[in-house]
């Protein structure tokens, strides 16, 4: 029986246990140092407090202190489900425990500026592990529209599994081949990862429309502002293509599940859209964060802070055109410099 270890017992890491379990894989779910209460609950009665479901009894739950005795080296695959802030912690754990190149599939999303370039997490994890271990560890990524709560209750879900090795991608798809988990292959791992990270960033911009609507006077026919939201959505895709190509991915990836699909589902609900709504109401980012979302992690805002300076550098040196990315420029100003988010309508659809 194939065995898969999931490192990270948050909502998405734990949800990934479901398709693996459905097709008969042995699943070892290992919590991070932040997941102790979640693992205790699963070990007690199977209940996952954040997903609000009972995991199957065949999913084995462990505290991270048990990681060494689980022997990652005998696993067929490791799924990395830590938060973006926990990537370095996860790299340390992998470096401590791996003695052979077990394939890693990352559901963690984010980008990082490294050596003056914007890099995807799979590349960073692969490069650091090779330096520390002395051998190459293959790292794949998963993108596309996948809400953890839906996957956890076996709702049909379509995703993209991306990497540089077709056989490894096919292996990962086979391990996850539940009847409701429809994974598709892609060799454009950079494009998939850029889309996965920036969908949160642009969801802030699209979410702005709801706040702007609420701040506007009612009309006689009680018209909504779906036209506005659709326009911002389209502008986001235009700019996402420019970003994807500049970082090394393919423009066509944005047209598929990784781009359009993931941005669509992210704009429907979630923390990034909620932040966008607050900015649309006229609040600054700091006012919105402190007054309404103090304890929430806003992934799109964290991304803006992490790579905003690098985007500005790329606009300055010509690697990106600021004129072609007015929405991105406005979001960076709102998040990084606490300016009121105003939409530069005349510059859209360049």
pLDDT in tens, 238-290: 999 999 999 999 999 999 999 999 999 999 989 999 999 999 999 999 999 99
Residue 60 pLDDT greater than 90, yes or no:
yes
> Does residue 119 sit in the same domain as residue 239?
no
The DSSP string of 45-90 is HSEETTTTEEPPTTEEEE-GGGHHHH-GGG-SEEEE---GGGHHHH
| pLDDT given at position 10 | 95
| pLDDT given at position 350 | 65
> Does residue 205 sit in the same domain as residue 66?
no
Could you tell me the CATH number of the domain that includes residue 26? 3.40.50.720
Give phi and psi for 29, each to the nearest 5.
Answer: -95, 115
> Does residue 238 sit in the same domain as residue 159?
no
Catalytic residue, chosen from 50, 119, 171, 199, is: 199
> Does residue 145 sit in the same domain as residue 252?
no
Q: Is 224 a catalytic residue?
A: no
Of 148, 170, 187, at which residue does a domain stop? 187
> Does residue 202 sit in the same domain as residue 138?
no
Of 141, 160, 187, at which residue does a domain stop? 187
> Does residue 218 sit in the same domain as residue 165?
no
CA dihedral of 195, 199, 201, 204, whole degrees rounded to 10: 160
Span 101-136, pLDDT tens digits: 999 999 999 999 988 899 999 999 999 999 999 999
> Does residue 114 sit in the same domain as residue 11?
yes
Of 140, 164, 187, at which residue does a domain stop? 187
> Does residue 112 sit in the same domain as residue 245?
no
Domain that holds residue 252: 191-347
- Whole-prediction pTM: 0.95
> Does residue 130 sit in the same domain as residue 203?
no
At 217, is the pLDDT very low, low, confident or very high (cuts 50, 70, 90)?
confident
| pLDDT given at position 54 | 97
> Does residue 18 sit in the same domain as residue 123?
yes
> Does residue 280 sit in the same domain as residue 333?
yes
How many separate domains does the chain show? 2
């Amino acid at each position: 029986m194939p065995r898969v270890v999931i490192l990270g017992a948050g909502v998405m890491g734990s949800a990934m246990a479901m398709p693996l379990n459905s097709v008969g894989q042995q699943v070892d779910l290992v919590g991070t140092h932040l997941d102790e209460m979640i693992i205790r609950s699963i070990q007690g009665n199977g209940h996952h407090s954040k997903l609000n479901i009972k995991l199957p009894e065949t999913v084995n739950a462990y505290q991270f202190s048990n990681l060494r005795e689980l022997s990652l080296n005998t696993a067929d695959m490791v799924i990395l489900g830590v938060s973006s802030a926990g990537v370095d912690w996860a790299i340390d754990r992998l470096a401590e425990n791996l003695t052979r190149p077990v394939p890693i599939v990352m559901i963690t999303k984010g980008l990082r500026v490294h050596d003056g370039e914007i890099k995807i997490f799979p590349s960073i994890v692969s490069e650091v592990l090779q330096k520390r271990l002395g051998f190459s560890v293959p790292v794949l990524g998963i993108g596309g529209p996948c809400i953890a709560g839906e996957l956890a209750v076996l709702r049909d879900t379509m995703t993209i599994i991306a990497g540089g090795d077709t056989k490894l991608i096919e292996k990962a798809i086979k391990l996850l081949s539940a009847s409701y988990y429809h994974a598709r292959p892609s060799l454009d791992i950079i494009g998939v990862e850029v889309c996965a990270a920036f969908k949160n960033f642009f969801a802030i911009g699209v979410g702005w429309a709801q706040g702007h609507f609420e701040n506007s006077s009612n009309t006689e026919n009680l018209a909504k502002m779906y036209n506005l939201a659709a326009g911002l959505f389209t502008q986001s895709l235009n700019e996402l293509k420019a970003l994807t190509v500049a970082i090394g991915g393919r423009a066509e990836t944005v047209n598929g599940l990784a781009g359009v699909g993931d941005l669509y589902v992210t704009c429907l609900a979630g923390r990034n859209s909620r932040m966008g709504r607050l900015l649309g109401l006229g609040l600054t980012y700091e006012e919105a964060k402190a007054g309404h979302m103090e304890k929430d992690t806003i992934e799109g805002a964290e991304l803006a802070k992490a790579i905003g300076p690098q985007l500005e550098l790329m606009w300055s040196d010509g690697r990106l055109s600021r004129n072609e990315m007015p929405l991105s420029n406005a979001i960076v100003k709102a998040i990084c410099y606490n300016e009121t988010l105003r939409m530069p309508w005349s510059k859209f659809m360049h």
